[in-house]
Structure 1
């Protein structure tokens, strides 16, 4: 069952990423193809979905790899849940996608995060994930934020309005970035705690049996 879910999640993930890239490259607005590509990979949603798709694929093709480590799966689950929550609460009302844009939008922001979270909940042995995972998990979003602010400073492109220095200023952007970092930390700690509760319940049932 785990393999089936992971194959499905990987297939949907890669399809959605390819579809979104095709839509970006064939659209009639925006910069040249090179800069469109750079901007495409500058979205946290895109890079996170790539990581998740790689993790799902690796679990099927190379079981026991780095991407099967419970701490790594927990970190990725954190990223994917943040993608879904941020989009739903902050970004979804900023545009009204239609047709294939809607398919890509729903897949990247809702379907793949839900499938990864479900896989983490059902199939990842998460009872012994160390608390320090929450701090280590911050490396990726911090690097992403550094790239976003640096890239935006010379290109003028900011993928999200809450970090758009040209519109809200550096101070507000940094405050928002700090808030997002705190959200990553808290959510990852919650997932680690949930995993430990699962372990406690499992041990209690074993003892009762």
Structure 2
């Protein structure tokens, strides 16, 4: 079951990322370089890339391989939390104002619905055996912090902000910083929930 989900997420991940990048480059009036940079400026895309790499690494790893970033239990827990944030924010804040059609709609639903649910199932199958260190888990907060910093710095030069709630031109830097703060708080809360939930499940298995 676990290997099947890993395989499905890896295949879907690479296919959708390649197709969406191609569409981004060919459908917008920007250079290939600018289109590519904008494409990877979305937290959705970056997090889907990380989930896809994780699944691929898990499928290819061997018993004799040394532990790496994408084989650690903390990585799956963190990525599950982040990809769920991607899905939640999309369905609550973005989907009502963006109505893609055809292939774009299918690819978007894969990235915002199918992959988050798949990652959650994968985490549920792994939580019984995976021991997570809170200190290492919280280090993953550097990922969204670096991401937001990059978006704001680059946006000040390019005027491109991937999400309405990060658009400094429309909202002002103060509102964007407040939005970013609340997003980080939600991420921290979700990381703690997954951490304590995982410990609870493992303790229950030990006592049963």
TM-score (norm 1): 0.93
Show the counterpart of 2:147.
Answer: 144
Show the counterpart of 1:113.
Answer: 116
Question: Does 2:17 align with 1:52?
Answer: no
Residues in 1 aligned to 2:115 and 2:49: alpha-carbon distance in whole angstroms: 10
Structure 1: gaps of 5 or more residues: none
Question: Does 2:29 align with 1:12?
Answer: no
Mean Cα deviation higher: 80-89 or 115-124: 115-124
Residues in 2 aligned to 1:191 and 1:58: alpha-carbon distance in whole angstroms: 22
Change (3 A) 1:59 1:122: same
Mean Cα deviation higher: 97-106 or 58-67: 58-67
Q: Secondary structure at the match of 1:132?
A: helix
Question: Does 2:195 align with 1:192?
Answer: yes
Query: Which structure 2 residues correspond to residues 56-205 of structure 1 after superposition, within 5 A?
Result: 56-63=55-62, 65-66=67-68, 67-125=70-128, 128-205=131-208
CA shift for structure 1 position 112: 0.9
Give per-residue Cα distances to partners, 1:15-36, cap 9 Å, x unaligned: 1111211221221x34222111
Residues in 2 aligned to 1:90 and 1:184: alpha-carbon distance in whole angstroms: 16
Show the counterpart of 1:33.
Answer: 32
Residues in 1 aligned to 2:80 and 2:150: alpha-carbon distance in whole angstroms: 22
CA shift for structure 1 position 201: 1.3
Give per-residue Cα distances to partners, 1:99-144, cap 9 Å, x unaligned: 1001111011111111111101112456531222442121100000
The number of equivalent residue pairs is: 204
Give per-residue Cα distances to partners, 1:46-82, cap 9 Å, x unaligned: 0100000000000001146421211111111111111
Native 8 Å contact 1:84 1:113 kept in 2: yes
Structure 2: gaps of 5 or more residues: none
Give per-residue Cα distances to partners, 1:147-199, cap 9 Å, x unaligned: 00001000000000101000000000000011111111000000001101111
TM-score (norm 2): 0.93
Change (3 A) 1:59 1:124: farther
Native 8 Å contact 2:127 2:202 kept in 1: no
Q: Please give the root-mean-square deviation of Cα atoms over the aligned residues, in Å.
A: 1.4
Residues in 2 aligned to 1:133 and 1:190: alpha-carbon distance in whole angstroms: 15
